[in-house]
Each structure stands twice: as C-alpha cells, then as structure tokens.
Amino acid sequence: MSAAPQQHPLLVVGAGISGITAALEAAEAGRKVVLVEREPYVGGRITRTHHYFPKMCPPSCGLEINTRRLERNANVRVCVNAEVTAARRTDTGWSVTLRHQPAYVNQRCTACGACTPVCPAEVPDPFNLGLGKVKAIRLAHGNAWPRRFTLDRAACPAGCRACVDACTYQAIDLDAQAQEETLEVGAVVVTTGWSPYPLDKLPELLGGMDQDVIANVHMERLASPGGPTAGKILRPSDGTAPRRVAFVQCAGSRDVNHLPYCSAVCCLASLKQAVYVKEQLPDAEVTIYYIDRRAPGRNEDVLTRVAAMEGVRLVKGKVGKIARTNGVLKLKVEDVERGVLSEAEADLVVLATGMVSNLKLQAPPFGVLLDEDGFGLPGHDLGLSVAGVARRPEDVAASVRDATGAAARAIAATGRRG
Amino acid sequence: MQRIGVFLCSGCGIGEALDVAALEKAAREEKAAHRAVHPCLCSPEGVATIRAAIDDGSVDGVLIAACSPRAKVEEFTFDPLKVAVERVPLREQAVWCQPPNHEDTQLLADDLLRMGIAKLAKMSLPVPFSAEISDTVLVVGGGVAGLEAARAAAAAGHPVVLVEASATLGGRMAGLTHLLPEGPPYDVLHPNRIAELLAKIQSDDRVTVYTSAKIQHIAGQPGQFAVTISTPQGERSFVAGAIVQATGARPYDASKLPHLGYGSSPNVITSAQLDEMLARGSLQRPGDGALPRRILFVQCAGSRDPQHLPYCSAECCGTTLRQVATIHQRHPDIETAVVYRDMRTPGQLERFYLAVQSQPNTLLTRGEVERVNGNGRGPLHVHLRESLLGNDVTLEADLVVLAVGMVPNAADGEAVRALHDAKVRAEKGDSETQRRDAAALAEQLAHHEGTEILHLEYRQGPDMPVLKYGFPDSHFICFPYETRRTGIYAAGTVRAPMDPPQAAEDGWGAAMKAIQCIEAAKRGAAVHPRAGDLGMPDFFLQRCTQCKRCTEECPFGTLNEDVKGTPQLNPLRCRRCGICMGACPERIISFPDYGVDRISAMIKAMSVPEEFEEKPRIVALMCENDALPALDQAAAQRQQWSPWIRVIPLRCLGSMNIVWIADALSRGIDGLLLVGCKSGDDYQCHYVRGSQLAQTRLGNVQETLTRLALEPARIKVVELSHHEFSRIPEIFNEFSAEIEGLGANPMKGF
Amino acid sequence: MAAIPALLPSTAFRDELRRRGGESAARCYQCATCSSVCELAPAARPFPRKQMLLAQWGMADQLAADPAVWLCHQCNDCTVRCPRDARPGDVLGAVRSLAIEKLAFPGFLGRLVGAARLTWPLLLALPVLFWVALLGLAGRLTPPAGLEAGWAYDALVPHSFIYGVFFPVAGWVILASWVAGRRFWTALGASGPRSGSFLANLMPALVEVATHKRFGSCGAARPRKLGHLTLLWGFVGAAVTSGLLIVGMYIQHLPMPLALDHPYKILGNVSAGLLIVGAAILVGNRLGDRKAAGASSAFDTFFLSVVVLVIATGMVVELARLAHAPAFALSSYILHLGFVMSLFLTFPYSKFAHMLYRTLAMVHARMAGLEKK
C-alpha cells in the first residue's frame, strides 16, 4: 500500500460517545483525526443521560476524562456546529465537504455568562427535550464542551443586539456566515447515533397527548440534577411527586407496526429508572410491564436487584391502551402470569420508547449500506465503517467497543505504517 | 522552576471583584521573575504575551491566575518539555463563589496565588524518554476474538504472534456449521465465515501462529514484554509490545445440573455437544443412536441462577435459535420446542427469533423447567413450572438440550498471588496463629492452584485481576478495555459474556488499544486515563525502607520487588495516578509536576490566621476527576460558600500522603476536608480505589491525632460524584460550621 | 398436573389450523396486547392471548370446550394491534371452524362441510339434483300448459312437495344441531361451574344476539356489525314470512300469489332486501382491508356464497313470476329450492352453526359468571 494515505487525517462523523471514542483511540495511536458534530457540543445522547446501568454512575464522569483527552491531544480537530455535505471516494480515501454553521459565538467566548441575563428571547429547552425554557443565547448544558455559549439565531428579536453589547470579549457576531471547507481524509467512521422513537406515534398509549405520559428519555432529564426539575422526579402536569409510576416496555419496539427490532437497552433503562424513582420516592409503587426481561450478561444483576425491591412489580404483559378517565391514567393490560385483565392506575407513565438510527432519518453522503431499518451495515471497505447505534441498537459499553474497533479499521484502511 | 512568570487575568469579573494590583504585589513578594496583568488572558492577544515570555526565555514556569484548569485548555497549553504550567482558578474559586471586594475574598485569592507559585516553584520538566520498543502484538488465544485481533493488528502493520493452546485455530466458532444472520433480511442462517478468516491469518506474513503452545513466562513492561512460550517445536522467546488475552470461555459444567437429567440420561446433552453432533452431520440420540423425533431445549440451564451462574451468558438464546433453525433445515419433520424464561434476542436478532418461531414443528414457550426425568431407554419427561398454560405440564422428548452458560477461561491473578503468599506464611510465619490462619487461607484459595494462563512476572500476581464472576473485564462502562495491567487487554468471551459477532468486534477493539499502547510507549507517554502524560515517576531508593506499600497499592501492578522488597520500577506500566506517592511514608516518590513536597509547599504557602481572628482555615484536598469538575459547575452557577476553604486538587485521593495532614495540622490549619469519588463495588475511581486507600491511611493516623489532643473530627472524608455539584456548598458550609464548633486548632502558633 | 403426551401440537392439528387460515398463531410471543385491546374479553378470563397459546400447544380439546372461542366476534381489534402480526382474529376463526367440525353430528357430515374447499360443488349440486330428480319422477320438469298471468308457484311445484321435503329436512337439522349443541354444552360445563337455569339465561342472551350489543363495542370492524345484524334480521324475517304464508294459505285462505302490497308480501320482500344488503356489506368488507376484516377461509366463503345464492335465486324466482316466464321460473325455482336445502342441511356443519354455538356460549358465560364487567 502507498504511504500517501498516512498523511491524510481520519474523519469521524458524529461526536457522541462512539464518535469521541473512535476519534480518541485513533488519535492516541498517533493518527490525525477530524471529529465532526452538528450540535454545538460533543457527547450526544449520553449528555442527556442521568446514570448508566449497571453501575448507576453519571456519564459526565467518563465524559470528563474524554473531553480532557480531546483538549490535550493535538491530533484531534473537533468541529462542532458542522456537517458533511458532500463526499467522494478517492484512491487515497475520501474527499469531503464540511459545512460549518455560522459561528455566532466564536472562540473568544470565555463562558462568563454575561450575555444570557440580558437576552430577551426564550425558547423551549432543546437539551431538556422541550421540558422547560431557556434563553436564545446560553451554555447548551452544564458540562457543554467546547465550553462556548451557543445562540439560537432564529429566536433573536429583530434588531436586538443585547448580547453583543453585553459581551466584553467580541465573542458574538450576529452576522457570522456559514462556511464550507473541503478535506482530504484517509478513512471515514460514521457514528451518527440515534433518536428516540417519536411519542406521538403511540396515540393508543396517549403518547404526545398527555403530559404525564413521558418517554424514558424524558425520565433521564427529570432525574438529572441539570434537568428541568433540578433532579426531582415530578409529574409534568402538576409538578407533584408521583405515587404510582408505570413503565411500559417495548413501546414501539419488537412491533411490526412500529420498530420490528428490539432496541436492546430499554429493559435496563427502565430497571435503572425504577431505581431513580425508589431512591427519591421510597414509598412510590413502581410497576414494569414487559414482554421479556432483557438484561444480558452481568446486567442480570440489575434485574435481580430491582426485582427484589420493596414496592417494585414486574408484570408480564404489554399495555395495549392507556386512557385518562376522571383525571386518572388507566393502563389496560393483561397480567399474563395470572391470566387476568386489569385497569392499573398510575400518576406517571414512562413509555420505554426505542432507538431509531439517525442514518434512517438523515444519512451523511458516504453511501453507507443500510438495512431496512436504517442501521448501517459493514461493507468490505475498511475505509468506511459504521459504529455505535448507527450500526445496531446497543448500549454504551458495546458502542464504545465497536467504535474502538472502527478506529482500528480506519487505521488499517489508511495503509500500513512505515 | 527558577523563572516563574505570573500572568493575571482581570477578565470575567476578576478585575471587578478583586484587587488585582495587590495580587501582582503578592506575586512580586513570592519572587516571580515575570508578572503581567491582562484584561482577557485567553484572547489571542493575551496568549501571545505568555508565548512571548516563554520564547524569549524569560520564564520556564507559567502561572496562569485566571480560570479553572478545566477552562481554555487549548489556549493555555504550551510545549510540556519547555515550560511547566500551573493554573490558579481565581474565577471559579474566588470571584464566582464569594462576595466581591470582600477582605476574605481577597485573602482567598491571595492564598490561591501564593499556593500556585509555591507549587510551580517545586515543579520540574519531564525528561524526554527513549527506549527500544517492540511493535509486536502478542495475541493469546486463537478463537474468533484472537483471530480478529491478530488480523486487525497485522492490518495496521504490526507483527503479530498468535499463541493457541489447542492444536487448531478457530475456537468454538470453528465447530459451527452456520452463524446467526448478521445482515438483512436477518431471517436465514448465514454460512460460517471462519474459514475465510483463517485463510486471511495464515496468508498474512506478519502473523506467526503457534498452535498447541502455551505461555511459559511474561516479564517486563509495555513495549518490552519478554515472552517465553512452549511449543511442540520447543521453547520460543521474543519481545512483544502489547498483549491481547483472548482465551475465550468454556461451557458451564452441566454435571452440576443433575435435576436437569444431565448424567442420569445420555439423551440429555449440552448445546456445545449438539453443535458437535451437527458439525459431524450425525444428529442422533446418544442412548440408542436413533434419530430423535422430538427435541426439547432448556434455556438458562444453570444461568441466571444464584446456585450456579448468577449472570446471563448473553449468547444462549441466539445459539438455541441457530440450532433449532439448523435442525429444521436438515430434518423438517423433527419437532423442536424451546422452553425459556425470557427470550433474549436484542436488535435485529428479534427478526430471526420471529422467523424461527414461524417454522413448522417449532414451539418456543415460556416456563421454568423444574426437572428432567428419564434414562437411556424411552422418552425423557420434562416437568415445567410456570408455563403460561397456568398449570404445571409434563412434556415428552427424545433428546433434551441444555443451553448452558459460559465460564471465562481466566485466572484470578490476585487470588493466585494471595495463595502463594499464604503458603509462604504457613511455612515460615512469625507466630503459630499466623501460620494457622495462613494455612486456612491457603486451603480456601487452593482451587486457584495452577490456574495461571499469562504467567506474568508481576508482584501482584501472574494474571490480570478479575471482576465479579471471574471476568478480567474493565469496570468502566465508558472504557471497556481498561484492564488493570497496562498493555494487556482482554477480548472476547474471556472479557464478558458475548456472542461470536461481538467477540469478533471485540478483537478489533482490543487490537486498537494494543497498538495505541505501543505508540504511547515509544513516546514514554502514559495511556488512559492520563493519556499523553510524559512525566515519569521518580523513586529515590536510597531512602526506601522496603515497607512494600507502594508495590502493594499500585492499582496497575507497576512495581515489582527484589528479594529484599525494594520496589523495581517499570515506568511503562505506570499510569501516573500517584497512589504509590501517597502510600510512601518516606516521601521518596515524585513526578516532575506532582509530588509530596509540591503539595506540602502549597499548604505551607497559605495564610493561617491567628487564633483570635476566629477565622478557621480549612484545606480541601479534592479529586480532580470528579470533585473538582463538580466544584467548577457549582461556581458557574454562582453558588456561594464558606471563604475559609483552600482547595488543593489531587490526581486521585489515593495519592494523598499522610504527611500533608501532619503539615497542615502542625501549621495550625483547623480542618481538612478530603473529597474523593464513589468507592465500593460500583466505584468510579479511574485508579480503582483511591478514596478507599485514603480512608485506610486516615484510619492509621486517627489515634495519633487523639494522642496529640486533636479531635479526629477535624478531618473529614466525603465522597462526591461528578454530577453532584449541587452538594458542594452544603459540604463546604457544613464542614466549616463543624470546625467552628470545634474551635481553633490547639497547635496554632506553635 | 396435566400431562401433555406429545411434545408439540400434533402435525395434524397444525395442518388443520393452517388450512383454516390460523397458521399465524405460531408467531405469537404472548405479549397479551390482544387481550388488552379486546372490548369483549371478560376481566377474569381474558382472550384471545390464552387461546393463542392453546393453539400453539395444539390443545384442540381445551379449545373446543372454551367459551371464549365463541364469545370472540372476530372484530379484529387484536389483529390490527398485534405487534407480531399473529392475527388472533383469524386464529380464533380457524379454531371455531375446527370446533364446528369436531362437535358435528354425524361426524362425516362435519368433515364433508369442513372440507368445503374441495367439496363445495357437491354440497351445492346434490340438493339441486335431488329436486330435479323428484320433479322428474313426478313429470313436472316442464310447466303445465296454459298458465294465465297471476299463476302461483304452487302450480309449478305443489306445496305438498315443499312440505314433504323441508319438514323432514328441518327435523333432521334440528336433531343434528341438538346433538352437537348438547356435546358443546357438556364440554362447556366441564370448563367451569355454572349456576342458574338455562332458560332464564337464554332470554337475555337472545336479546343480546338480536341487538348485537357486544358486536357494537368492536373497533376495527364496525361495518361488519351492520352487515351481520342486517343479515340476521333478514333470516328472521324470511323465517317469519314462511310461517305467516302457511297461516295465510290454510287459515286465512288468502288467494295466492299475494298482491305486492299485502303485508306478508311486504315483509317477505323487506326480509329479502335485508338479506341482500347484509350479504353485500359482508362481501364488500371481506374484499376491503384484509387485516381488519380477517382472512377468508373456504369455510367462511362457502357459507357466505350459499347465502348469496339463495338470495339471488329467490329474487330471480319472484321476478320470473312477475315477468310471466313459467319455464324460466321453474328452472330458477329448482335452483332456489336446492340452495335453500343446501343452506338448511349444512346449518349444523357450516359457519352458519356459529349462531347456535355462540348463543350457547353466551348463555354459558352468563351462568358461569364470565360476563364482561
């Protein structure tokens, strides 16, 4: 193989935990890497996660190490607010076009926070999945890295320059323009991750129709100290603590009418969230309605632990219908083991919605082979690999494993070392 | 460092809240060679002033008195071999969390600055490292994980030595006729691709394969492992840069499951035995060699069972589906039934589950198999409890297949070591009781005798430490390859329960880490979590008393011992956590930018008010990985707390040396707060048990304190997780109040 | 402890199920979405999840004695929502046709009709041929000469012939239904204790049938309720009309044929109308959304076809008389009589029998306290 590709950096598309990992593992082996992320910060979905199963530890802990690795490693170039708009296979790898969104807030930002209080515009908080409001200019979230504020330009009132005037460091430029850049890269790793299956596709479960019927991703925000309730688990409708919490498994997954595959993490996510609830509200009654309890490997310990908890019930039976009758949420479900139908009441219902590959929603222009659900398939081309949930539904540890392997493939693709 | 440059930033409200001129004056008192104030030090202009000072050689140490060391890192990073850098977080630790223009706030800032200068003064530059580093990757185990690891390393241009204990490569996967579908439409079996993989390996001139070979001995460190193996052709010795352990797993011993009829009837077999039959192409009932008409599969045989394997082996459901599909392909009229507790088919395997379910003559049903009765003659009777029929049922079958779980082929290095130590003590222990206890312990650990696989010449044992259930896995979800032996990475089913496709992927991942470790060794740089750290530990052995604490406590087995017990350093195994430094009573261990004297200097540099001022002084030693970020976030939210606290970041609370406590108390400091990360089974310490070690060390000093008429309550250890920033004010204020309650440190003024 | 001798549903049972469009039972993973969306399932003994399991296990006897199988109106809410496309609606339909065959008296007739997929020409042709033969022997295969307008069918086929044939047929049908019904009732009894008297509970059950109260609560297949109800009342109307005609002829001595505006006539034509509309709706529904409608097995189709044929020939017969075309009238009348006979004779064995079994199941449900709360 020619040594030429050696000089080309590797390109990693998507800076969730998989992308960060792929980029760092290659960079720490001495390769130059460009890491592209469309959000203004790295970390992707895990930044919105309160705890990981099975350890019940905060993702920010590992992200702390990873961001430190990123900022101390000269081999990695991180491009946030950027997307790949075009890509072409070359004999030395790929020729790609990057689009950098306008840098309304630039590198000079010190994250001093002078701009936010003076900003007149409020928007629903995208980081908290619309739970709560934030200013148009803000730090995307408490651990946002790169530590730079972000501006939702579309929300700016006409002619408003309040933030510009408040910033002493000329860090804000309301007239910034998008910029295009062409890069020659040796190999590409696609780690575009996932999006939650939309609640409103589950009307029979009141998905998107009742404030107190939330998705598992919302529960992560409610439990998180950086969330809309500062970590208190409260019903969105009236802000009271729920006494009865019901988890509905396979809300959309393993269902030929929705997602035919198993999303692989929802069982453990709900078991984990049952722990959130019981630790905060010891008297709360938690019921988990499942088809199969899927806790592979040593994650079985989580199932064992939660199943033994006082006030937690695991019931085999899929909830078919949820209705609000005279103010109370009623779940219609058959307890399969006892063979009886019940109309269980709940104050808060968590739908364990599954994962949809972002490649299905918007695939970057590399011609990744997709299966019919939009998960990326491994081709024979080492110069293009897919890792993390873009590849298959899997948990964080597995995503990191695959991403590390993908880094090795990218290195192999860019030719043998001297 | 001799020529210290102090660069003060007056931006981000620092200028408004503090008397920066006074701080500059303090810097002058502390003999800073160069001093400058900038309105926005992190701006290109500000950074330029620092670079200028570095380039014209007027400074060799840069003190940046601005924001947290976690902010603006790119801007404030300079050539580590040319200049030492220390950050003083005036913004987060004084301006944002204290009332502006208050004498206490000013005093706090002044202390922080003097502490920073004191530390920087004692720092030195890392010495460039160079050594002969081998590119070779040693892969132990020739199953699918090992083969893929070898392929990956070779593809990246590394020489590979693959050592397989059995006579053939391919492991369990070699014996499979088909594999589960890995691509659409996910509803038909795929042909086994192992042959293709074997061909790749055998044709790769970079890979040397030894079958029927065993590791005899591994000494040394990453980049320089001296490996000796025994092969049919005799001994072989070579040097390897890094190691991938892919020794796989074995099926759980089914003879421990008599209630399922294993042993009592030849017609009860394990899924592994069925795979052998299917590979031979002779599906038959062992009892009489006849073709079984009715086959029943029992899932979770011994798995998810506290009596046997408490964990789920993750691949048995898939294996059974594969076998049911294979049987149906060959003998469509054989009836198969699968009894499961929970069908576990994650991801697209769900589609295959549906496909198999839809086959004629196939039944997959939920239930608990209570027992299997029968002998070689006649049908077996399988008794089900909790079948969804609502009553117990008995099924008849000609052949029963137990889907038994997997047990890792790993040795518990620490246990083997403990066994060895116990035996020695049982021989020549000091007292009779000691010898008796040691003998008892040896008895307990006897089953570890001769289990060695890697035969590492490591003081802490011949193999990697294992996690719960005996897997030498990483404890970290974010860092699945972080074993506790630098440069040695587990891959495949030895690391965790997984199926063949996952094991293949795992091989690539482990190879990546191996390659990376070799590259780091070439630069003398640390690997995870302080990746790229060039500062090597330095042992001043003349003063060593052979107490062995460092060799015992290093989480990564960096140190060996000579016969006298003197530590032998293997710097390339070192991860720079400083736990040895904290353990050492003689204070002989240090790093260029971290050491006992550096922290002592900081403690000595802070102001300690006289007793009558009624202003307690508290030192907070905080873990820089979790506690410090939490503090930064609390500060960013402008939370306020006691002005009496002086924070000193530590790489790990485990690097806390007791002498700092002595220094602080003898200086009249009224209280010490130690903030580390979560310990226990689900510990979060990146160095395994930092806060635990700190606890133990404190335990040892507590009674000394009481002897000195000092209340033990003056020292408090708190565990704080990265996300618990909202607890910071409460922790600080409570402790301040407690110290106030205790009154001043009686040693004040002495 | 129940002992299941075979490991699996006997291959025979599976084939039976498959032939009747119930093979999708194999896809079920027992999530019970079906039971929870079913508007008819009683809380204490929900269906169809359990029945799907019994079908998977091949427990034919349990299914034959299971009231739930008949309480199901195949509205297919379950089929529409089933995450695995296991189509519980179709499976229960298949199970019902299997049960009808299993309970039939005598068995061979049950099997004959059960195999309608193959035997339908026989089932339709034999009765027609019977009439041809009968009239042939009586030398009545051609209409008598010199009929003036206003003739009645009595002139072509004397009523004596009709009574002579249909009273015994009816008798036989009642006997066969009685025996089968008994078998079913006893089997139901074994499935759980009953209290209260049969008759006392029959009435409310009949009212329910007459109003299709249960059917009303079904979601996915609302249109079918209308068709089904219309058809039911069409049959009732037709039966009543026949009764009234006898009264009219022998007690009131009304002149035949009745004028079109005569109440009896009107009732007859209205009933015919209902039958037409009902049949049309059901056929249309089957041709529509397959999932919501459920699969069409030969068994269903045969019954629906006979009904359609009876109605069609009936119309032709009336029109032919009004059009004063005796020869054509006679031939279509023969077909009509044949099809009516076929409909009668197959009643206990065709899908028609669900009228009997479902009513009994409803009575049992009331007596066994399985009513939906």
CA dist B476 and B555 (Å) reads: 14
What are the tens digits of pLDDT across the range B674-714?
999 999 889 999 999 999 999 999 988 887 888 878 889 99
Cis ω before C255 (30° cut-off from 0): no
Chain C positions touching chain A (beta carbons under 8 Å):
29-37, 41-46, 49-50, 81-85
Which three-class secondary structure state does DSSP give residue B2?
coil
With beta carbons less than 8 A apart as the criterion, state whether C188 and C364 touch: yes
A275: tokens are: 């722990």
Determine whether the interchain pair C32/A254 forms a contact, defined as Cβ–Cβ distance below 8 Å: no
- Measuring CA to CA, which residue among A178, A138, A354, A184 is closest to residue A267? A354
Residue C283 maps to a domain: yes
CA dist A19 and A52 (Å) reads: 18
Residue B31 CB neighbours (<10 A): 10
Residues of chain B with Cβ-Cβ distance to A108 below 8 Å are 40, 42-43
- Specify the DSSP element, H or E, that contains B371: strand B368-373
Which of A55, A261, A371 is the closest to B682 by Cβ? A55
CA dist B186 and B318 (Å) reads: 12
Pairing type for strands B368-373 and B380-385 reads antiparallel
Q: Which residue of C has its CA nearest to B380?
A: C7
A116 touches chain B (CB under 8 A): no
Pairing type for strands B214-219 and B399-404 reads unpaired
Determine whether the interchain pair B346/A57 forms a contact, defined as Cβ–Cβ distance below 8 Å: no
With beta carbons less than 8 A apart as the criterion, state whether A252 and A354 touch: yes
- Specify the DSSP element, H or E, that contains B236: strand B234-240
Between C191 and B535, the higher pLDDT residue: B535
With beta carbons less than 8 A apart as the criterion, state whether A254 and A262 touch: yes
Segment 176-195 of chain A within 8 Å of chain B by CB: none
Are residue C18 and residue C120 in the same domain, yes or no?
no
- List of chains touching C (3+ CB pairs within 8 A): A, B
Determine whether the interchain pair A25/B516 forms a contact, defined as Cβ–Cβ distance below 8 Å: yes
What are the tens digits of pLDDT across the range B589-645?
999 999 999 999 999 999 998 765 678 999 999 999 999 999 999 999 999 999 999
Pairing type for strands A93-100 and B249-251 reads unpaired
Query: B468-472: long-range contacts at Cβ-Cβ below 8 A with a sequence spacing of 24 or more?
Result: B468/A298, B468/A301, B468/B681, B469/A298, B469/B309, B469/B310, B469/B311, B469/B408, B470/B407, B470/B408, B470/B410, B470/B412, B471/A298, B471/B408, B471/B410, B471/B495, B471/B496, B471/B497, B472/B245, B472/B408, B472/B410
Determine whether the interchain pair B152/A57 forms a contact, defined as Cβ–Cβ distance below 8 Å: no
Segment 371-410 of chain B within 8 Å of chain A by CB: 386, 388, 390
Query: What are the two backbone dihedrals, phi and then psi, of residue C216, each rounded to the nearest 5 degrees?
Result: -60, -35
Which residues 6+ apart lie within 8 Å of B601 measured at CB? B118, B119, B121, B122
C264: tokens are: 């009896």
Determine whether the interchain pair A250/C36 forms a contact, defined as Cβ–Cβ distance below 8 Å: no
Confidence of residue C220 (pLDDT cuts 50, 70, 90): low
What DSSP string describes A387-413?
-GGGTSS--HHHHHHHHHHHHHHHHHH
Residue C157 maps to a domain: yes
Determine whether the interchain pair A321/C37 forms a contact, defined as Cβ–Cβ distance below 8 Å: yes
pLDDT at C223 over 80: no
Determine whether the interchain pair C8/B335 forms a contact, defined as Cβ–Cβ distance below 8 Å: yes
B741: tokens are: 């309650």
A226 touches chain B (CB under 8 A): yes
Residue C306 maps to a domain: yes
Residue B156 CB neighbours (<10 A): 26
Are residue C177 and residue C53 in the same domain, yes or no?
no
Are residue C49 and residue C118 in the same domain, yes or no?
no
* pLDDT mean across residues, chain C: 88
Residue C1 maps to a domain: no
Domain boundaries, position C161: 110-367
Residues of chain A with Cβ-Cβ distance to C34 below 8 Å are 320
Which residues 6+ apart lie within 8 Å of B737 measured at CB? none
Last residue within a domain, chosen from C84, C103, C122: C103
**CATH number for position C192:** 1.20.950
Length of chain C: 373
Are residue C89 and residue C211 in the same domain, yes or no?
no
Determine whether the interchain pair B311/A300 forms a contact, defined as Cβ–Cβ distance below 8 Å: yes
Query: B519-525: long-range contacts at Cβ-Cβ below 8 A with a sequence spacing of 24 or more?
Result: B519/A28, B519/A29, B519/A30, B520/A28, B520/B222, B521/B131, B521/B133, B521/B222, B521/B223, B521/B224, B521/B241, B521/B487, B521/B572, B522/B133, B522/B223, B523/B129, B524/B128, B524/B129, B524/B130, B524/B131, B524/B571, B524/B572
Are residue C94 and residue C123 in the same domain, yes or no?
no
Residues of chain A with Cβ-Cβ distance to C66 below 8 Å are none
The interaxial angle of helices C88-103 and C354-367, nearest 10 deg, is 100
Residues of chain B with Cβ-Cβ distance to C1 below 8 Å are 383, 391-394
Residues of chain A with Cβ-Cβ distance to B726 below 8 Å are 225, 230-231
Chain C positions touching chain B (beta carbons under 8 Å):
1-9, 11, 14, 26-27, 29-30, 50, 53-54, 56-57, 84
Confidence of residue B750 (pLDDT cuts 50, 70, 90): low
Confidence of residue C4 (pLDDT cuts 50, 70, 90): low
Residue C57 maps to a domain: yes
Residue C4 maps to a domain: no
What are the tens digits of pLDDT across the range B498-509?
999 999 999 999
- Measuring CA to CA, which residue among A108, A162, A170 is closest to residue A137? A162
Mutation site for B-interface testing, chosen from A24, A52, A57 by largest number of B Cβ within 10 Å: A57
What is the domain count for chain C? 2
Q: How far is C82 from chain B (nearest CA, A)?
A: 13
B205 touches chain A (CB under 8 A): no
Are residue C88 and residue C165 in the same domain, yes or no?
no
Residues of chain C with Cβ-Cβ distance to B363 below 8 Å are 7-9, 56-57
CA dist B150 and A182 (Å) reads: 35
B535 touches chain A (CB under 8 A): no
Query: What are the two backbone dihedrals, phi and then psi, of residue B434, each rounded to the nearest 5 degrees?
Result: -60, -45
With beta carbons less than 8 A apart as the criterion, state whether C55 and C91 touch: yes
Strand order in the sheet with A348-353: A213-215, A348-353, A244-251, A285-290, A312-316
Q: Which residue of C has its CA nearest to A316?
A: C31
Q: Mean pLDDT, to the nearest integer, of C286-313? A: 81
Query: How confident is the model at residue A417, as a pLDDT?
Result: 46
Determine whether the interchain pair C44/A340 forms a contact, defined as Cβ–Cβ distance below 8 Å: yes
* pLDDT mean across residues, chain B: 95
Determine whether the interchain pair C11/B358 forms a contact, defined as Cβ–Cβ distance below 8 Å: no
Are residue C92 and residue C132 in the same domain, yes or no?
no
CA dist C37 and C31 (Å) reads: 12
Are residue C151 and residue C97 in the same domain, yes or no?
no
Q: How far is A260 from chain B (nearest CA, A)?
A: 7
Task: Enumerate the β-bridge partners of residue B401.
Answer: B269, B297
Are residue C166 and residue C98 in the same domain, yes or no?
no
Query: A4-8: long-range contacts at Cβ-Cβ below 8 A with a sequence spacing of 24 or more?
Result: A4/A92, A4/A415, A5/A92, A5/A93, A5/A186, A5/A187, A5/A413, A5/A414, A5/A415, A6/A186, A6/A414, A6/A415, A6/A417, A7/A186, A8/A32, A8/A92, A8/A93, A8/A184, A8/A185, A8/A186, A8/A414
Series of mean pLDDT values for 10-residue runs along chain A (418 residues): 62 98 97 97 98 96 97 96 96 96 96 97 96 96 96 97 97 97 97 98 97 98 96 97 98 97 98 98 98 97 97 97 96 96 97 98 94 93 95 97 97 72
Q: Which residue of C has its CA nearest to A319?
A: C33
Are residue C45 and residue C138 in the same domain, yes or no?
no
Last residue within a domain, chosen from C63, C81, C103: C103
Last residue within a domain, chosen from C88, C103, C118: C103
Query: How confident is the model at residue C372, as a pLDDT?
Result: 59
Mutation site for C-interface testing, chosen from B339, B365, B384, B399 by largest number of C Cβ within 10 Å: B365
CB pairs < 8 Å spanning A and C: 65
B516 touches chain A (CB under 8 A): yes
With beta carbons less than 8 A apart as the criterion, state whether C339 and C130 touch: no
Which of C7, C9, C54 is the closest to B395 by Cβ? C7
Q: How far is B317 from chain C (nearest CA, A)?
A: 15
Q: Which residue has the tokens 């139908």?
A: A341
Determine whether the interchain pair B508/A409 forms a contact, defined as Cβ–Cβ distance below 8 Å: yes
Query: How confident is the model at residue C279, as a pLDDT?
Result: 87
Mutation site for B-interface testing, chosen from A33, A53, A112, A409 by largest number of B Cβ within 10 Å: A112
Which of A256, A317, A320 is the closest to C84 by Cβ? A256
Residues of chain B with Cβ-Cβ distance to A143 below 8 Å are 629, 633
Are residue C143 and residue C99 in the same domain, yes or no?
no
A393 touches chain B (CB under 8 A): yes
Query: How confident is the model at residue C226, as a pLDDT?
Result: 86
- List of chains touching B (3+ CB pairs within 8 A): A, C
Determine whether the interchain pair A372/B185 forms a contact, defined as Cβ–Cβ distance below 8 Å: yes
Residue A396 CB neighbours (<10 A): 24
With beta carbons less than 8 A apart as the criterion, state whether B276 and B365 touch: no
Residue C325 maps to a domain: yes
What are the tens digits of pLDDT across the range A365-387?
999 999 999 999 998 888 999 99
A296 touches chain B (CB under 8 A): yes
With beta carbons less than 8 A apart as the criterion, state whether A404 and B495 touch: no
* pTM reported for the whole predicted model: 0.95
Residue C360 maps to a domain: yes
Determine whether the interchain pair A405/B13 forms a contact, defined as Cβ–Cβ distance below 8 Å: no
CA dist A324 and A332 (Å) reads: 11
Query: How confident is the model at residue C21, as a pLDDT?
Result: 87
CA B483 to each of CA A21, A60, B467: distance values in angstroms, whole numbers, following the listed order: 17, 21, 10
What percentage of chain B has pLDDT greater than the value 90? 92
What percentage of chain C has pLDDT greater than the value 90? 46
Q: How far is B609 from chain A (nearest CA, A)?
A: 32
Are residue C47 and residue C133 in the same domain, yes or no?
no
Q: Mean pLDDT, to the nearest integer, of B579-591? A: 96
What are the tens digits of pLDDT across the range C125-162?
999 999 999 999 998 888 888 888 778 888 889 989 99
Mutation site for C-interface testing, chosen from B343, B350, B354, B356 by largest number of C Cβ within 10 Å: B354
Which of A230, A292, A296 is the closest to B314 by Cβ? A296
- ipTM of the assembly? 0.93
- Measuring CA to CA, which residue among B244, B243, B221 is closest to residue B131? B221
Q: Which residue of C has its CA nearest to B394?
A: C3
Determine whether the interchain pair C43/A332 forms a contact, defined as Cβ–Cβ distance below 8 Å: no
